[in-house]
A and B are shown apart, each in its own frame.
Chain A
Amino acid sequence: MAGHEVAVLGVGMHPWGKWGRNFVEYGVAAARDALRDAGLPWSDVQFVSGADTMRNGYPGYVSGATFAQAMGWNGARVASSYAACASGVTAIEAARTRILAGLCDVALVVGADTTPKGFLAPNAGDRPTDPDWLRFRLIGATNPTYFALAARRRMDLHGATSTDFAKVKVKNAANGLANPNARYQKAVTVDDVLASPVVADPLHLLEICATSDGGAAVVLTSLEYARRHAGSAGAPVRVAAVSTVTPTYPKTIVDLPDLATDSSAVVAAPELRFKASIAHAAYEEAGIGPEDLSLAEVYDLSTALELDWYEDIGLCKVGEAERLLNDGDTSLGGRIPVNPSGGLASFGEAVPAQAIAQVCEVTWQLRGQATGRQVEGATTGLTANQGLFGHGSSVLLTR
């Protein structure tokens, strides 16, 4: 779908950590960083698209305006998006479509979070019609419960082992060593992973992503604006496609926060399961295929889920992810490096910022600016992620 591209003129992040400060501070820092990277003043931004944080009271529910006010009201149009882990890409899509519609030239997308310690939990109070409340109350099903169900399934279907899973963490931790924005910059071994306590069998503590504070921002512009503005900076990174697809009935994989799947008794399960349909829609929109990718940033909420993504974004056939990993194909220097940033394994998750951070990393990679973790000659990168309640999230970037 040529002609439907926008430019990534600037990217910025506030380092991930457990800083315990107001999320607005991280978002503003990331936004100013992205504007500096773009070489644009804040006054030129015409649309602010915020990705919401839902655990920090009122300002988080209207994040676009919160960020705009904190930076000084400038009269820009505004939107705030919530799609759980996919919030960042939903906010990017709001900005992209506004630019493509010709309603603005310059948009700023911001997401930031401050996270509590321990398991993510639903809002307080009895809410017996809310599936996210019910899964905790009726079953005690935390997020790692769902990650572990997927991991056990891989072991049973494809013969994956705990050592295979641990190697994903070892790879991502090694990548994160060179990333100044990563929370964890520490190498780990397979033995370290397997010696950490089991949280949800078969997954160990070091295989499940932590919850982190952090902020990320991107400045998106029309291609024409970027051509006029960029001058000698060279060709900008372009957003070739964004996928925010929902599942197709029946969804037959148990997913956060559901207690049960749809029924496949009357309508057969679709050919592509939900996670596979996410990147597929991005490839279709861009006319680019998985064989064209230089790298991918996927949502490794757990080690085993990264392996699922290899198959779901088309890097290999179903059941071949462990071989891809063990052959070194997805390591830096391999055929198709995955999570060169270090992934969630090195960052922990700052929910509304994470999908934007994936786009920041791919942008740095395509510009050749990912010092210490650069994928040589990278021209095309994909991000992939899935948000609670059926939010697809994928961005295809090219340069």
Chain B
Amino acid sequence: MSLPAGEAHPALSNTYRWSMPANWWTRKRHYFFYMLREFTALPLALWLLWFLVEIKRAGDGPASYAPHSSALFVVFSAVCLAFALYHSITFLSLAGVIIHVKFLNRPVPSRLIVLSQFGLWAAASIVIGFVLIWFGR
């Protein structure tokens, strides 16, 4: 197609605007597990709401409260525990990437940082569990 020399072609700014397909997160394993990780916030929030309801019910009197009558809550709690564990494990595993500290002018290896985070988590779980059970008595 002959064009007067120096003239811009009319198609100059006709770049194709690419857009992300709505199902982008199903196309790669990594993306799917990322969405799952982000999604865990939802069941956790729902669980907290349900938990508040259960507290209210228990507040009506220890005699009338029978946790096993709320079997659904137990099952739901187990599911949410799985989500929470997934969230916590992925987050703590990535702590080694986020936190960078130097000890004696040498960078602390990320594996050590991750181990320390898991260690703190275990310690905190033990302490809190102990406190809950103690006050539960």
A, B from the same assembly:
no
Interface residues of A (CB under 8 A from B): none
Interface residues of B (CB under 8 A from A): none
